[in-house]
Amino acid sequence: MRLVFAGTPEFAVPSLRVAAARGEVVAVYTQPDRPAGRGRGMAAPPVKREAQRLGFEVRQPQTLRTVEARRALRALRPDLMIVVAYGLLLPPRVLEIPTHGCWNVHASLLPRWRGAAPIQRAIEAGDAETGVCLMQMEQGLDTGPVLLSRTLPIGPDETAGQLHDRLAALGAQVLDDGLALLQSGIRPVPTPQPEAGVTYAHKLEKAEARLDWTQPAEVLARKVRAFHPWPVAEAEVAGDLVRIHAAVALPLAHDAAPGALLHAGRDGIDIACGEGALRIRTLQRAGGRAITAADYVNARRELRPGPQQ
């Protein structure tokens, strides 16, 4: 099979490797290089780096909406286009070019969590499970019929970064299953998505990282997990604005004002919430690195229990 692959971030790399093993990848589309890091130097997307390692032609158009872009894609004579977290919209005329259309690997159990941030939103909402769908792309946003899917439980302490890695591997497996069927002459049966249960995973915004202590501790603990490794939850702790890397909710009854310090020790820093308390286990001061709550308390003598010197 002549395959065109379109993807950009690390999530798409395992699927690119599967495509390379299953067919002839005639081109890899990825987003243009972007400034990154403290020096803001130009950095290649992970998919580009992997494609170059594998020896594939890499294309980085700003858009696929032009006549020239469609003509260039059509010249590749693709049997199938595989799209994994590409980040650019595919116009209807592009979807029609490959013989078998375009397949998308999406990190949710559609129709739940269509959109840009399905992994983070599933954790934030407290979902017990998620998964991956292989979808036949159509004009709508993640509205196409599902060809294959697999389910994955979400661990009680799992962060978005950890779940991302597991779903990336699972997505590659689902894609491999689909390509194997197509190679054997069996086209996966498209199942239309039900109208009930549609939710949208809106793109993460940095402003969401600021925690509101009036919310229940359970909600805040999920946000800490969902926003790790980006944008990382932040809040004021005993007058100090910190980033929170790890925390758990405590079903603690109290009459303290939201945001009040309830306890600071080696086991964690407990902050009063609208309901219960959030125990912070790993945090980061401005300009510093992530440290344990015990190290943080040691650095702030005024937080230590007992008489102060």
The full set of domain ranges for the chain reads: 2-201, 206-303
Name the CATH architecture for the domain at 206-303. Roll (3.10)
Q: How confident is the model at residue 123 (pLDDT cuts 50, 70, 90)?
A: very high
Q: What is the mean pLDDT of residues 60-83?
A: 97
> What is the average pLDDT score of the chain?
95
Q: Is 109 annotated as belonging to a binding site?
A: yes
Task: Report the candidate in 44, 60, 53 with the shortest Cα–Cα distance to residue 17.
Answer: 53
At residue 101, φ and ψ (nearest 5 deg) are 75, -155
Q: Is 88 annotated as belonging to a binding site?
A: no
Q: Is 147 annotated as belonging to a binding site?
A: no
Which of 77-86, 151-160, 216-225, 292-301 is the least confident region?
A: 292-301
| Residue 139 reports pLDDT greater than 70 | yes
CA 31, CA 184: separation in Å to the nearest integer?
Answer: 32
CATH number for domain 2-201, candidates 3.30.300.130, 3.20.20.30, 3.40.50.170, 3.30.360.10: 3.40.50.170
| pTM attached to this predicted model | 0.94
Q: Is 110 annotated as belonging to a binding site?
A: yes
Assign residue 109 a region (left: φ > 0; alpha: ψ between -120 and 50; beta: otherwise).
Answer: beta
